[in-house]
């Protein structure tokens, strides 16, 4: 913490203060209820600084005092918790036949979960208009609850560059589309940041923050929708690659003589272990959920054909997961989307392949599990990305207390 006014420029001071505010906010998120003394002891910031930072966070209604006290060495302390009530973070997932929307408060408590059928339409404009209408209803609902929107992040199944432009979303028919800019216009410049990201990336962020294995620092999330993409978190951070296109595991070739993939190549993981392979036939848009449920029913009933199809798709999936395990050594590979209900039949085949294909013993410690977040994962990850921005210092409200 800088205490002298003669040294750095005000901009530097604001940066340091924003950073320290974020440090305190993250501490409260992880340790609430906690006292100002706890924060000082753990962060190394001095007590006066912590008091000033906490006062600022209370002003911004990011943190509040509770009536609780902690009796330690005879000195009671006022305890602090996150104040979720004035804010909402919104995540939206656009997929081939549905749009999911999720809103959470600052503490990550779920405020809203919607899933609406959707058609990407004839053009990007039509698709954006449809998504924009759904988002507007979410925003209005939050406004009715008198919540300020911290931000919106939108998940798209496709290549999204680091600037957030959708370069290629084949299943939606979108190419070089500034979806964030288009949505801002559709929402009439709503005054909150709009980010666009790949669905697998956001699924991974959702797992990291909200999943059954939250806090894992090395995990890969596989989408398991019509496309199969990987969101990669290593050393605690999402890894997008140079231009943002990492994780296209769906188009890693498993068999040069395999069936043709919609990308024009042959034997891609997506065509050998995606929804079509899992169902044993091309999925019917709008009916995939029903078809998956039927597959689950048949597998439960011991139908030999269904079990053989799932085993074969599971083995192909296992070959893809082995590539990830050899290359990235994740502690977890999390199967999402339509893989989840079929996981009891897919996982044994996946694990079997890992054992034989990963050079490190015990598959390098890699465990393959089913997501517990269901089809909301990417939308929830959008909300997680907004909370990540706040936690890293992009706080709502002005820096009113800078002297
Ligand atoms: Zn392909």
Question: Bridge partners of 282?
Answer: none
How far away, in angstroms, is 378 Cα from ligand 1 center?
22
Question: Distance from the CA of 71 to the center of ligand 1, in angstroms?
Answer: 61
Instruction: Taking residues 145-169, report their average pLDDT.
Output: 95
Residue-averaged pLDDT of the chain: 91
- Ligand 1 centre distance from Cα of residue 220 (Å): 20
**What six digits make up the tokens of 346?**
């897919």
Residue 141 in tokens: 């609902």
Give per-residue pLDDT as tens, 252-301: 999 999 999 988 999 999 999 999 999 999 888 778 899 999 999 999 99
| Alpha helices (runs of H) in 158-230, residue ranges in sequence order | 179-186, 199-210
- In the reported structure, the alpha carbon of residue 229 is separated from the centroid of ligand 1 by a whole-number distance in angstroms of 11
Using the predicted structure, report yes or no on whether residue 3 has a pLDDT greater than 60: no
Question: What's the CA-to-centroid distance between 132 and ligand 1, angstroms?
Answer: 30
CA distance 368 to 320: 12
Ligand 1 center to residue 228 CA distance, Å? Answer: 10
Pairwise CA distance, residues 275 & 258, whole Å: 16
**Ligand 1 centroid to 120 CA: how many Å?**
21
Does 344 sit behind a cis peptide bond, omega within 30 degrees of 0 on the bond before it?
no
For the chain, give the percent of residues with pLDDT over 70. Answer: 94
Q: 87 CA distance to ligand 1 centroid (A)?
A: 41
| Peptide bond just before 33 cis, omega within 30 deg | yes
Work out the percent of the chain whose per-residue pLDDT is above 90: 79
Q: What is the CA radius of gyration of the chain?
A: 23
The secondary element (H helix, E strand) that includes residue 368 is strand 367-370
CA 227 – ligand 1 centroid, Å: 9
What is the pTM (predicted TM-score) of this model? 0.91
69, pLDDT greater than 80? no
**Residue 79 pLDDT > 50, yes or no?**
yes
Nearest 5 degrees, angle CA 253-CA 239-CA 189?
Answer: 110
- The whole-angstrom separation of Cα 388 and Cα 403 is 27
């Amino acid at each position: 913490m800088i205490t002298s006014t003669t040294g750095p420029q005000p901009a530097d001071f604001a940066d340091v203060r924003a950073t320290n505010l974020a440090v305190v906010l993250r501490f409260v998120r992880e340790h609430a209820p906690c006292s100002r003394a706890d924060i000082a002891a753990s962060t190394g910031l001095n007590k006066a600084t912590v008091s000033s930072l906490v006062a600022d966070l209370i002003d911004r209604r990011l943190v509040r005092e509770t009536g609780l006290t902690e009796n330690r060495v005879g000195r009671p302390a006022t305890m602090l918790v996150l104040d979720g009530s004035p804010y909402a973070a919104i995540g939206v997932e656009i997929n081939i036949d549905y749009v999911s929307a999720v809103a959470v408060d600052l503490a990550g408590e779920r405020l809203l979960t919607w899933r609406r059928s959707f058609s990407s339409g004839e053009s990007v404009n039509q698709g954006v208009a449809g998504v924009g209408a759904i988002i507007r209803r979410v925003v209005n609902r939050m406004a009715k609850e008198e919540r300020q929107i911290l931000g919106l992040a939108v998940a798209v199944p496709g290549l999204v560059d680091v600037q957030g432009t959708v370069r290629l979303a084949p299943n939606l028919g979108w190419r070089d589309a500034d979806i964030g800019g288009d949505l801002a216009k559709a929402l009439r410049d709503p005054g909150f940041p709009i980010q666009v990201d790949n669905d697998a990336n956001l699924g991974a962020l959702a797992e990291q923050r909200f999943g059954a294995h939250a806090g894992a620092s090395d995990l890969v999330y596989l989408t398991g929708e019509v496309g199969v993409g990987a969101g990669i978190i290593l050393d605690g951070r999402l890894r997008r690659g140079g231009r943002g296109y990492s994780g296209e595991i769906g188009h890693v070739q498993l068999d040069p003589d395999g069936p043709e993939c919609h990308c024009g190549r042959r034997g891609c993981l997506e065509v050998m272990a995606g929804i079509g392979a899992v169902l044993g036939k091309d999925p019917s848009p709008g009916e995939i959920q029903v078809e998956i449920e039927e597959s689950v029913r048949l597998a439960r009933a011991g139908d030999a054909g269904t079990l053989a199809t799932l085993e074969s798709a599971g083995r192909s999936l296992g070959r893809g997961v082995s590539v990830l395990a050899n290359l990235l050594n994740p502690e977890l590979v999390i199967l999402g989307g339509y893989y989840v209900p079929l996981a009891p039949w897919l996982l044994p085949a996946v694990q079997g392949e890992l054992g034989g294909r990963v050079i490190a013993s015990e598959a390098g410690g890699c465990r393959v599990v089913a997501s517990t977040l269901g089809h909301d994962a990417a939308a929830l990850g959008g909300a997680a990305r907004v909370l990540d921005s706040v936690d890293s210092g992009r706080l709502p409200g002005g820096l009113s207390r800078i002297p």
